[in-house]
């Protein structure tokens, strides 16, 4: 499963929640999850993955 498929990044926003406190709270929770995810990245390992993609990918699909 790719990281974007984790539940904390896949919230559904119902039409009644577009606006007001509910939307703000959902955005706050998503931001917190994203910051935690970025803080937990192993940057040395990520650098190797990004470099490998940069030298092998022919298109911008990664």
List the domain boundaries for the chain: 16-62
pLDDT at 60 over 90: no
pLDDT recorded at residue 1: 46
Residues 7-57: pLDDT tens digits?
Answer: 777 778 888 888 888 889 888 988 898 899 889 999 999 999 999 988 887
DSSP annotation of 62 reads -
- When computed from its CA atoms, the radius of gyration of the chain, rounded to whole angstroms, is 16
Question: How many residues would you count in the chain?
Answer: 62
Q: Is the dihedral of CA 25, 31, 34, 39 positive or negative?
A: negative
Q: Where are the alpha helices (DSSP H) in the chain?
A: 20-40, 43-56
Query: Does residue 11 contact residue 30 with C-beta atoms inside 8 Å?
Result: yes
């Amino acid at each position: 499963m790719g990281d974007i498929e984790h539940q904390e990044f896949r919230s559904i926003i119902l039409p009644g929640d577009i606006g007001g406190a509910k939307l703000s709270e959902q955005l706050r929770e998503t931001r917190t999850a994203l910051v935690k995810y970025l803080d937990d990245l192993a940057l040395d390992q990520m650098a190797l993955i990004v470099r490998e993609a940069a030298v092998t990918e022919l298109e911008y699909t990664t």
